[in-house]
Every structure is written in C-alpha cells, then in structure tokens.
Amino acid sequence: MTDVHATSVGRVTPQLAEFEQPLHLQSGGKLDGFHLIYECYGERNADSSNAVLICHALSSDHHAAGFHDGNQPDGWWEVMIGPGKPIDTNKFYVVCCNNLGGCNGSSGPSTINPATGKPFGPDFPMVTVSDWVMAQSLLADQLGISRWAAVVGGSLGGMQVLEWSRRFPERIAHAVVIAAAAKLTAQNIGFNDVARQAIRTDPEFHKGDYYSHNTIPRRGLRVARMMGHITYLSESAMASKFGRNLRHKETFDYEFDPEFEVESYLRHQGDQFVNRFDANTYLLMTKALDYFDPAAECNGNLDAALSAATADFLVLSFSSDWRFTPERSREIVRALQTNHLNVSYAEIEAQQGHDSFLLDIPDYLHIMRAYMNRVARVIKHG
Amino acid sequence: MTDVHATSVGRVTPQLAEFEQPLHLQSGGKLDGFHLIYECYGERNADSSNAVLICHALSSDHHAAGFHDGNQPDGWWEVMIGPGKPIDTNKFYVVCCNNLGGCNGSSGPSTINPATGKPFGPDFPMVTVSDWVMAQSLLADQLGISRWAAVVGGSLGGMQVLEWSRRFPERIAHAVVIAAAAKLTAQNIGFNDVARQAIRTDPEFHKGDYYSHNTIPRRGLRVARMMGHITYLSESAMASKFGRNLRHKETFDYEFDPEFEVESYLRHQGDQFVNRFDANTYLLMTKALDYFDPAAECNGNLDAALSAATADFLVLSFSSDWRFTPERSREIVRALQTNHLNVSYAEIEAQQGHDSFLLDIPDYLHIMRAYMNRVARVIKHG
C-alpha cells in the first residue's frame, strides 16, 4: 500500500437519498420531491456525535475524498479529508452531498423531471444557499444526525456554513468558514453575469433546453470557465506559474493559436470543464452566489443576521484571494464577535489566490488540523 | 457659447494620410500601402516645435477631442485636450491618429483590400506596437514634423510612448507614459485570450470573414467587452457605483434578466461596444498588447531596452489600477533612472481603476498640466 492510500479514505460508493415531500424554495418555487447524492467517509460513532458536514463550492460535488474507479484518490478535498489528515476520518464521520441543482447526481436541471419524462432544463427552479441548507438538514434527518460536530466549507461552501450557523444553531457545534464572504461584491456579481451571458447567448443554449437538441452550449461554458479560472488564481501565482513563457517555441508566430503557455492552460481548463459540468447548473450556482446576503433580511445589519448563531467559529482567509478578500472574512469575524461568539480567525499568507482553500498549503492545513482536534473534543466516546 | 465650448477644440474634420510605400511589419508580414486617419487640434507654429502626438489605447481612435456632428464635444480625451486644458491647444498642435489595424478609418481588417476588392478580414496582418510607432513616424514625416514636443499616451498608448522613446529618441523631447506597463503579466494575457476565444468561437465569426456573411460575432464581442470593462474598473469603484443595488425593484425576481444594476450596466456597455467596434480589430489590438515586451530583445533587461532613450519622462500610475498596477510603472521608472534620464513619477490616489487615465481626476489633471507647461518650454517662439 502506497502512502497515497495510507492517507486516503479509499474506494467510496456514492449513495442516494430520496425525499418525497415537497420542498418549498426561497424563490417561491417548489420541488415536489428531490434526491441528493452523497458520500460518507470514516466510521460513525454510536450517537453520531462525530459527524462533520462538508459543503461544496461552485463547481465541485459530493466526491470530496477517495476514488470510485481505478485506485487513485481524486476527491476535490483530498488534501483535507482522510485518515490522519486535518479532517481525520479516524475520528470523524464525514458527509458531503452534491447540492440541489447540481449536475453530478442530485436533482438538477439535467435530471429527469418526473412530470414530463424529460430533463428539467430551464424549468428547474432557482435555488439558493438557504435552500441548500434546508435540503442538507433533511439529509441529516434521514441519516439520523441531529447535530453536526462541525459544518465546514470554502467559498460558496463557506456561505452554506454561515447559513447553517444562523438557521439551525442547535444542530451545529462548530462552523468552519473558509475563503468566503457574507455577500458578493459588485465586481463578483459582474464576473458571474459575464459568465452567464457567455452561456445564455451561445446559440447552442436553446433557452436552457439544449438537452432535447442533443447539444450543449460548449463555447459559452468554456469561456465562462476560462474567465472564472483567472479570478480563482492570484496575479502573482499566474506570474510564477506561467509568466510570459511561450508554448513549445522560442519566438512568436504571430498567430491566434496559443503562443503563451497561459493561453493553452486556460483553454485546456475550459475544455475539460465543458466535459464534466452542466451549463444550467453553472447558471444556478452563480445565481445562488449572487443572491446570498443574510444581512439584507436585517436592513443590511450582519450582526443582526448572525445573532441566532451559537457555534464556535473558525474563519480563514488567504492573503492573495482577490475574489473573496480577507476583508470580507474580517466582516464576518467582526459580526460574530459582536454577538460574543468564540471566533478564531487567521489570514493565511498564500500566493495561490482564491483556489488556496483547495490546495496543500502547510500553514492552512496546520491550522485546520489544530482546529479539528478541538472539534474532536465535542465527540462523545463510549 | 457655453463653458463646454470655451474649453473644447470645437468641430474637427478627420484627415486621411495615404502611404503608397510598402510597410514591413514586425511579424514578417507586409502591407503594400496603407492609410491613417488622424485629427489635429490647435495651431502649428512655424517650425512645428509645438507638435504633440497622442497615442490611443485598445478601443479608442483618432477622435481624442472636439466633435464631428452635432455640437457636443465627444472626444475620448476631452478632459485632457483643449484650450486651457492640460494639453493646451492654445500652446500645442496636437495630433492623434487611429492605429493601423483599427476600425475607425485607418487601414484595418474591415477596410477594402485593394488586391481583392473585399475587406481584408483575417488576411490583415498582425500588427505590433512597434509597427504602430513606425506608421506614426511616417505620418510625422508626411506632416513635416521632425520632432514631437511630447508623445503622450495611456495604457496601450503608453506602450507606444515607450517605444517612441527608444526607437526614435531624436524625434521626441518629452515622453508621457500613463497607466502603462513594459509588458503584460500572465493574468493580463489570460484575460485577453478569454476575450479572443469569446470572439473566435462565436459561430458568426466565420474565421474572421464575417463581413462577407453579412454578420458580426456580436455575442462574443459583447462578452469580451463586458469582461474587459470589469477589469478597467476597481473593485471599490464598482462597489461605490453599484454595490448590490437592484434594478428597478425592491426584491429579487429569481430570474436571469438583470436583477442587479451592475448586470444591466455591463450588458449595456457590451451592447454599445458591439455597435461601434470591429471584432477583428479587437483581436489585433489585444495581440499587440500581448506581444509588447521591449526587454525581451535584450534578454529580459529593461534597462538595456530603454538605453537609447533620451527624452524627459513623466510616468503616472493610479493606486487602484489592478490591470496595470503602480508596480508596473515603477519598473519603467527604475529602468529610466538607471539610464540617468530625467523622470518624474507620480502614483495618483484614485478609486477608478485602470480607467482613471480617461477621467476627470483633479490631482491627475493638475500634474499633467504642470508637466505640459514644462514641455511648452521646448517650443521655439518666433
């Protein structure tokens, strides 16, 4: 057994949870029923007090750790979750589900609408962070988990953690909010809308019903991802990784084929993404980001919006993250402190930009490990 | 006469300069002949020693000041050029031409190729900052201007100023380099390539020959401009201007029509741009930006690349410009200082991001006015 496997949760089998009751959504829409795909890692203890919920970000899913086929671990948070890792599956029972509206097994635009026998497409209702948390709470009910030892997430996942902490304070002991924000800035909303416009104006979009035309809005989704990818990295990370290096040549050819390495890298990222992600889901996820703003319910007062929270918090930001800057995390920290909550905050020096929350950054993993050791103290043994 | 007119150059008539000699381009390509459209403001003195050249940026043109039709001044640098303005047309004879490859009257992809009787389209050769400066020097020859009192430009225009200073040191007394860089970063190249991919993968692009299909790659150019526009503003400028304000409503409608003001603003910017700018020109201009890197000719040594320069320099940057950051300007300043040149540098506190160089920012205009007064001392009177 290699080292990779010694610290991996190994082969995992996704599971499906069916919900037959109607789900009333924040938008006023409704789903008559839905299903969520999820994975679990580690052993659950007798009273489920070691359960940790992982909330995923924009373009990931339930497959946070381990592997399905082959034998190479390929979960999106492999650095974080596993035996001996910061979220240690020797201690915790870890659950991660694909969010409602997703494209990797949970009910979403690309799944079959039982009412029509065809994919939902544009008829899938708009979903919000609040809806996701509600759906996750129903999953917790079904699994018999009354209270999470911790709810943990980065980026859009961190928004779900915030929502859990205020919506179900009695069901969450610790909240770990990484590289997140209490609301998007105008710049963020702008980038999201450019991405949406790229997709929605692609002639292959067919008003969202591209499934029935046997096509996908490949060009638009590719451009959206290329742009998004730039914003997940820092300028200095791109400078270190690519600089002005040319691709397989010494001098310019003065053509539109990629000349710089950064061009072929971004195009490759775009191409890969199109093959694994559904455009309608991308639209829904970006809208969920835009809509999230708990303070708006309280006349813009974030202190008031978080006043119901009782969890202990770890809030983390990354110095070079310009999409969700450290200042956005400090806003959250100030509001939590105003509510006299236990809050640990660290701004981690890291060059990798917003993507840092997914990466093997020793200071970051060290802090997570230390905090999760503290979380482990709430587990009841015996 | 209103105040607007008192400080405007008034009605201007663009002029056309024809060049019948072949122009050999940096790419190895060649134009058998070409034409440049240009405008002039102010009175030329007897020996043309009061001539100032303005170099334009990515998406602007020769129409820097005054008006053509109607009577409202609408030049892109109206704040800077006019009687009593920082570049004072009571003192200077100001020339601005549309660059080669442009779409507003100079030879470019949308002009007729004499060899075929059809628009050049994709057959128009790649052009570089160096080619532009060569073409501008031929225009200066034709106008009988042996030496510019100053060459002035912002952004891509500032790159042209740098190139003038090292290519034709004897023909430029003062160089004013605003919000520029000696080369693009990987991030900048990345954004440019996303823009190009948006255009080139638009089904209406037809490999650049959309003219003969009576269409334009409207969707791609619109998305490119929307994205570009975000990068020309600062996050804080967008926060001040739009924040999370909703458009004509109090609550969300949970739909894909614009909900936030910033969405409708960006879409409007994209729509407007498509009606005034040619997609092939946009492609060429972004490539010219990518290619510019004078230090590359000297093993990456910018000091050496600028060693031929003799002009006095004003270098300006803006604190919130994240596309061409103040650090990029300081790199230029250091190289000029190493070459023992007279360099004035200011980093102007401004919230408006890269677009600051086009805007009415008092500190900025004050510095420009003071420096141009110094430039005026090189003018020979009599």
Q: Dig out the tokens for A16 from the structure.
A: 């499906």
Size (chain B), residues:
382
Mean pLDDT of B367-374: 98
Q: What is the pLDDT of residue A324?
A: 97
Does the distance separating the beta carbons of B223 and A197 come in below 8 Å?
yes
- Measured distance CA(B33)–CA(B50) in Å, rounded: 29
> Model ipTM?
0.96
Q: What is the pLDDT of residue A71?
A: 86
What per-residue string of b and e applies to A22-32 under the rule 16 or more CB within 10 Å gives b? ebebbbeeebe
Q: Which residues pair with A34 in a beta bridge?
A: A19
Q: Residue by residue, what is the 3-state secondary structure of A16-44?
A: EEEECCCEECCCCCEECCEEEEEEEECCC
State the catalytic residues of A: 155, 321, 354
Q: Which amino acid is at A52?
A: V
Class of domain B3-183+293-376: alpha beta
Question: Tens of pLDDT along B26-80?
Answer: 999 999 999 999 999 999 999 999 999 999 999 999 999 999 988 899 999 999 9
The model's confidence at residue B217, banded by pLDDT at 50, 70 and 90, is very high
Chain A, 60 to 99: residues with Cβ < 8 Å from chain B are none
**B321 interfaces chain A, CB cutoff of 8 Å:** no
Of B263, B266, B290, the CB nearest to A260: B290
Q: What is the pLDDT of residue B379?
A: 83
Domain chopping of chain A, boundaries? 3-183+292-376, 189-286
**B227 interfaces chain A, CB cutoff of 8 Å:** yes
Fold of A3-183+292-376: Rossmann fold (3.40.50)
Query: Measuring CA to CA, which residue among A132, A92, A85, A87 is closest to residue A108?
Result: A132
**A362 interfaces chain B, CB cutoff of 8 Å:** no
Of B194, B242, B287, the CB nearest to A223: B194
Q: What is the pLDDT of residue A4?
A: 76
Q: B140 and B53 in contact (C-beta within 8 Å)?
A: yes
Angle at which helices B156-167 and B129-143 pack, to 10 degrees? 70
| DSSP reduced 3-state for A150 | strand
Q: What is the pLDDT of residue A381?
A: 64
Size of interface A-B (CB pairs under 8 A): 153
CB hemisphere CA count around B253 (13 angstroms) = 10
**A206 interfaces chain B, CB cutoff of 8 Å:** no
Does the distance separating the beta carbons of B190 and A230 come in below 8 Å?
yes
Longest dimension (CA), chain B: 70
Share the mean pLDDT of chain A: 96
Range B189-286 classified under CATH 3.30.1330.10: no
- Measured distance CA(B353)–CA(B267) in Å, rounded: 20
pLDDT of chain A along its 382 residues, tens only? 457 778 999 999 999 999 999 999 999 999 999 999 999 999 999 999 999 999 999 999 999 999 999 889 999 999 999 999 999 999 999 999 999 999 999 999 999 998 899 999 999 999 999 999 999 999 999 999 999 999 999 999 999 999 999 999 999 999 999 999 999 999 999 999 999 999 999 999 999 999 999 999 999 999 999 999 999 999 999 999 999 999 988 899 999 999 999 999 999 999 999 999 999 999 999 999 999 999 999 999 999 999 999 999 999 999 999 999 999 999 999 999 999 999 999 999 999 999 999 999 999 999 999 999 999 987 876 4
Query: Measuring CA to CA, which residue among A296, A294, A289, A59 is closest to residue A189?
Result: A289
Phi first, then psi: give them for residue B82, nearest 5 degrees.
160, 175
Of B125, B203, B267, the CB nearest to A203: B203
Phi first, then psi: give them for residue B8, nearest 5 degrees.
-110, 155
Q: Which amino acid is at A270?
A: G
Angle at which helices A186-200 and B218-232 pack, to 10 degrees? 170
Q: Residue by residue, what is the 3-state secondary structure of chain B?
A: CCHHHHCCCCECCCEEEEECCCEECCCCCEECCEEEEEEEECCCCCCCCCEEEEECCCCCCCCCCCECCCCCCCCCCCCCEECCCCEECCCCEEEEECCCCCCCCCCCCCCEECCCCEECHHHCCCCCHHHHHHHHHHHHHHHCCCCEEEEEEECHHHHHHHHHHHHCHHHEEEEEEECCCCCCCHHHHHHHHHHHHHHHCCHHHHHHCHHHHCCCCHHHHHHHHHHHHHHHCCHHHHHHHCCCCECCCCCCCCCCCCCEHHHHHHHHHHHHHHHHCCHHHHHHHHHHHHHCCHHHHHCCCHHHHCCCCCCEEEEEEECCCCCCCHHHHHHHHHHHHHCCCCEEEEEECCCCHHHHHHCCCHHHHHHHHHHHHHHHCCCCCC
Question: Tens of pLDDT along B249-300?
Answer: 889 999 999 999 999 999 999 999 999 999 999 999 999 999 999 999 999 9
Does the distance separating the beta carbons of A233 and B260 come in below 8 Å?
no
B155 tagged catalytic? yes
Structure pTM? Answer: 0.96
